[in-house]
Each structure stands twice: as C-alpha cells, then as structure tokens.
Structure 1
Amino acid sequence: MQSENTIVAYASELEKATFYKKTYLHVAIAILAFIIVETILIHTVPMEWIAAMVGGKFVWLFIIGLFWLGTTLSEKMSFNPSREQQYLGLGLYVILEAIIFLPMIVIAVALTNSAELITQAAIITLFMFSGLTAVVFFTRADFSFLRTAIIIGGFISLGLIVAGALFGFNLGLWFSVGMVILASVSILYQTHQIKNQYGTQQYVGAALQLFSSVMLLFWYVLRILMSRRN
C-alpha cells in the first residue's frame, strides 16, 4: 500500500493525474486571485502612494526586502503539513505579488491608456509557460542540473537590481531578456522537480513554485513590451 504522500515519480497513473490536475488548477486560481487583488489595489491605493513606491530608491528597496522575506515565509508555509497553512502561504504570496506589480501595471496602462500591453504580455507568458511545460512532460530530459545556474543567476540579478535601485541606473533591455531566460529555466527546473521530487500531497507548494516563476516571466515580458513604447 502506497503512503499518502507518495513521490509523484513512483505514484500510480491515477495519483499522478490527480496531482497534476490539482497543481495546475491551483496555479490558475492563484493567477485569478492575483488579477482580483491587483484590480482592488488599483482602485483603492492612492496614486501618491504608488508614485512613492518607485519614486524613492530606499522605499523600493524596503519593498523588495519585505517581498523577499514574505516569499520565504510563504514558501515555508506552503509546504507545512497543515493544509490551512499551505493555503495561507499561497494567499500571502499572491498578495505580495499584487503589491510589487502595482506600480508597473499602472505605468503599463498609462502608456497606452488601455490594458493592451498587459494583455500582450499575458498571452506571450501563457504560450511560453505552456511550451516549456510541454518540453518537460513530453521528453525524458533531466533538468535537475539547472539548479546551480538558477541560484547563481538569482544572486547576480538580485545584486544588479539592488545596485540599480541604489545608484539610479536603468538595467536596460538586455537585463530583461536575461531575466526572461532565467524565468524560463526556472520553469523547466521546477516542472521537472514536480514530476520527480514532490509528493502527491504537495500540490499547493508545487503551485506556488510554478506561480512564482510565471509571475517572474510575466514581469520581464511586460517590461520588454513597455520598453518599446518609451
């Protein structure tokens, strides 16, 4: 008899299908929740506060710091044995993403006086995510080696972001392209991990990991589209 939290790679076909269905359903729910929370923030947060988020370098660094701490807490909660804690972790992360996205969403809408850029970025992100996921599921390639590259790339990108905020220089188009590549690599790695390392009861934590990479990809795809309008 298999244990309740069987590793997905060793689970039955029915258990695998159920796990994947729950994982991607939770990713979709997280995205929908993000849209709802973002819409509420846009209509309730004063423009002065939004401007202050990006206008002061130390304010933005403080927000990045809180986001990092919140992300660490959310991820820990999402893998807690308590299902309630798992959902609290996922919900907290959705709210954090909505807050940090708020200034860029407002600027993107202002550039075209519509949601055109956001829609374009969302479609591109969806197609890229679907393609990357298909690569993992329909090939037997081992993407576990990507972990080192993701860690190194993450530290380098964080250092550049902090330096850019402190010294006021624009990281430019090529940085955004690099981050799109990093997010894509992360999706490949995390999807591979979900297939081979996660337990069948860890679908909330798996969803959070995928959602975080999808949002990172969306952020920099949107930045690239916005750079073409400036």
Structure 2
Amino acid sequence: MQEMTYAGSARLTFIKKTYAHLAGAILAFVALETVLLQTITEKQIMSVFGSSSWSLLIVMLAFWGASYVAQMLAQSDSSAALQYVGLGLYVVAESVIFLPILYVATHYMQDKSLIPAAGALTLCVFAGLTISVFVTGKDYSFLAPALSVGSMLIFGLVICSIIFGFSLGLIFSFAMVGFMSAYILYETSQVMLNFPTNKHVAAALMLFSSVATLFFYILRILMAFSSRD
C-alpha cells in the first residue's frame, strides 16, 4: 500500500487509468446497446439466438472465442492500439450477447424500470466491493483456485442447459451474483496490488467482464420477481 501514498506512484496512475477505461467501456456498452435495441428486430434476434439449442450453443461458443481473442489482444505487449482493439472487441461481443435479455426487458416486461434498476444495483454492489478492498487493503489472491474451479463448473452447467434444454433458475442467478462478487473482490485486489502497471486496458477489460456478468444476473433476478407480480 505504501507505493500508492503519493500522487506520482506508478500503481496509483495505473489504477486511475484502469477505472477511467472501465467507465469508458461501460458507457460504450450502453451507447452500443441503445443503438442495437433501436435497430435490431425481434425476428433478427430470434434467427440468431432462438432457432435451436445448437444455434444458441454456436453463438455462445463464438462469444467465448471472441472473449478469448479480446483478452489476448488487450494483454499485447507489442502495440497499445491492439490493446484497445481487444477492449473494443469485447464491448461489441458483450453488446451482442446481451441483446435477447435486454430486448425482453424492454419490450415484454411491464415494469420499464428494470434495466435502470439493475444497472443501479450493479454499480452499488461494484462500488461497495471496490471500496471495501481499497479501504482494507486485503489481498484476495487466495480466492483464485476456488474461482477457477467454480468457473469450470459454471461453464459446464451453462453448456448442459443449452444442449439439454433445462433452465438455470433463480437460485442459480443468486449464486452467480455471489460468485461474481467474489470475482470482483479478487480482481480489484489484483488491480490494487499485483496487476502489471502497464496493462491498464487489460485490467479494465477484466473488470468490465465481471461487471457485465453481475449486471446480467441481477437483471435476471429482477425480471423473475417482476414476472411473478
């Protein structure tokens, strides 16, 4: 923590750049999603996501592939431009994968405040977790093994749900909120203590991925409760 006590610190500069780029990625996501929701039709969304479980599986695999490429580009040591290409690619990929749930929330849910409410809750949770890490200075690196195993189990569950057509219900959504909160604690401590100080774009992508996933499951929870009213 000593290296962050003065304004010229490389770590402090890195942290400021990371969260500035995270804010930029979130704003870009909101802007792109707004445009897509106004221009893409339900038929077009269903043709990509809803024709069969196999088409959805292909879309998900393409998303994970794009995410992997984006992360590799964002980690590039050879070019700052490639790092930004990686972050931009990931924002676009997230915008596409979010289309179905945001379209349903926008056009089929009676409560039109669900998306803003989910966004506000996500930011509150993220801010609370971030502040707790920076105030305590705690290193959450010990969470890494559990997060890795959990990620593999979740990946398997999602694949099985797509192939066999069963729904991952409300309990899973709550579990994912907890899981992503743990991820944010871990990633924030990495940004604070261990992440390379020349990789602010990659750090921003890492945090954006967790924030987006947290938002997704918070929105699912709100939609589920709204549907019961």
Give the alignment's TM-score, normalised by structure 1: 0.92
Deviation at 1:34, TM superposition (A): 0.5
AA at the equivalent of 1:178 = A
Percentage of matched positions with identical amino acids: 40
| Alignment match, 1:202 | 199
Counterparts of 1:153-168 in structure 2, within 5 Å, are 153-168=150-165
Choose the corresponding residue for 1:59, options 55, 59, 75: 55
1:79-112 deviation per Cα after TM superposition (whole angstroms, max 9, x unaligned)? 1121100000000000000000001000011233
Q: Distance in 2 between matches of 1:100 and 1:213?
A: 14
Q: Distance in 2 between matches of 1:54 and 1:214?
A: 26
Q: Distance in 1 between matches of 2:14 and 2:109?
A: 40
Question: 2:139·2:193 contact (CA, 8 Å) conserved in 1?
Answer: no
Deviation at 1:9, TM superposition (A): 7.7
Deviation at 1:11, TM superposition (A): 6.8
| Alignment match, 2:22 | 27
Q: Secondary structure at the match of 2:91?
A: helix
Deviation at 1:202, TM superposition (A): 1.0
Structure 2 segments unaligned to the other structure (5+ residues): none
Q: Which structure has more RCO (C-alpha within 8 Å, separation ≥ 6)?
A: 1
| Alignment match, 2:74 | 78
**Are residues 1:184 and 2:201 paired?**
no
Q: Distance in 2 between matches of 1:162 and 1:119?
A: 29
Q: Distance in 2 between matches of 1:54 and 1:226?
A: 19
Deviation at 1:199, TM superposition (A): 2.2
Structure 1 segments unaligned to the other structure (5+ residues): 1-7
AA at the equivalent of 2:67 = T
Q: What is the number of residues matched between the two proteins?
A: 223
Q: Distance in 1 between matches of 2:149 and 2:2?
A: 28
Question: 1:177·1:224 contact (CA, 8 Å) conserved in 2?
Answer: yes
Give the alignment's TM-score, normalised by structure 2: 0.92
Q: Distance in 2 between matches of 1:12 and 1:229?
A: 46
AA at the equivalent of 2:27 = L
